[in-house]
């Protein structure tokens, strides 16, 4: 990312919204914003192989592995405003399992770019499927969208829930139900599916 070019664009944006980019409080703002965007969109430039490498282990256990409440911060592609919440991941391994910390790295990889919540949910599920060759994968994201909360659409308290189920989670009602029941025990899982 060309930080200098982004700084110029932020300076122009400040002028267009009626600000004075020369005033003291804003002097370093273009630089800070450029650096923030570099971080918040680092998913475009990160290498997923590097992220998951060395953290996939052989395992023939066939039970459901669940990781709940993975913190999630992303930017909506319609307004470039944050949406944030939690991601719950479940999968049934058949050959390989992945380190728990790597699940949140996968979440960050897809969250740190311009997104819509539905696609983010699908991409995370598909990636876990690709990396582990699991029997099935389920991903649920619950998030609040600043573009809805800040712009007075009167949805300040609404939480959007999206889900993506693959493999046995899609085919088998019992597997999907087990996943959802385990999530329902979590107080943060409010809406259900």
Catalytic residues: 76-79, 117, 145, 147
Site for Zn ion contains 119 (CB under 5 A): no
String of DSSP letters for 20-74: -TTSGGGTTHHHHHHHHHHHHTGGGT--HHHHHTT-EEE----SEEEEEEEEEEE
Instruction: Pick from 52, 64, 76, 139 the residue near Zn ion by CB under 5 A.
Output: 76
Ramachandran quadrant class, 164 (left: phi over 0; alpha: psi -120 to 50; beta: rest): beta
Q: Kindly indicate which of the ranges 64-72, 124-132, 144-152, 178-186 contains the residues binding Zn ion, using the contact rule CB under 5 A.
A: 144-152
Q: Does 120 bind Zn ion (CB under 5 A)?
A: no
- Per CB under 5 A, the segment of 71-79, 98-106, 113-121, 165-173 that binds Zn ion is 71-79
Q: Provide the minimum distance between the beta carbon of 116 and Zn ion in the complex, in angstroms, as a whole number.
A: 8
Q: By CB under 5 A, which span of 2-10, 27-35, 139-147, 156-164 interacts with Zn ion?
A: 139-147
Nearest-angstrom CA–CA distance, 75 and 89: 20
Q: d(Cα 4, Cα 193) in Å, to the nearest integer?
A: 45
CB of 80 to Zn ion, least distance (A): 8
Binding residue for Zn ion, selected from 79, 96, 105, 155, defined by CB under 5 A: 79
In the block, tokens 């659409």 appear at: 153
Shortest distance in whole angstroms from residue 78 CB to Zn ion: 4
Q: What does the DSSP assignment read for 88-116?
A: EEEEE-SSEEE-HHHHHHHHHHHHSSEE-
- Residue 114 CA to residue 128 CA, distance in Å, equals 20
Please give the size of the binding site for Zn ion, defined by CB under 5 A: 4
Query: Which of residues 80 and 190 has its CB atom nearest to Zn ion in the complex?
Result: 80
Residues that bind Zn ion (CB under 5 A): 76, 78-79, 147
């Amino acid at each position: 990312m060309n930080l200098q070019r982004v700084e110029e664009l932020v300076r122009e944006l400040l002028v267009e919204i009626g600000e004075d980019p020369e005033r003291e409080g804003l002097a370093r703002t273009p630089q800070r914003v450029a650096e923030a965007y570099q971080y918040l969109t680092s998913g475009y430039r990160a290498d997923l192989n590097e992220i998951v490498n060395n953290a996939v282990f052989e395992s023939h256990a066939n039970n459901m592995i669940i990781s709940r409440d993975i913190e999630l911060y992303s930017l909506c592609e319609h307004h470039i405003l944050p949406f944030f919440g939690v991601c719950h991941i479940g999968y049934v391994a058949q050959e390989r399992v992945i380190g728990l910390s790597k699940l949140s790295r996968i979440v960050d990889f897809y969250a740190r770019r311009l997104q819509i919540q539905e696609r983010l949910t699908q991409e995370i599920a598909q990636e876990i499927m690709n990396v582990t060759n699991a029997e099935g994968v389920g991903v649920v994201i619950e998030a609040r969208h600043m573009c809805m909360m800040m712009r007075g659409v009167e949805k300040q308290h609404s939480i959007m829930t999206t889900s993506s189920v693959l493999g046995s989670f899609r085919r088998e009602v019992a597997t999907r139900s087990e996943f959802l029941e385990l999530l329902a025990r979590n107080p943060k899982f409010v809406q259900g599916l």
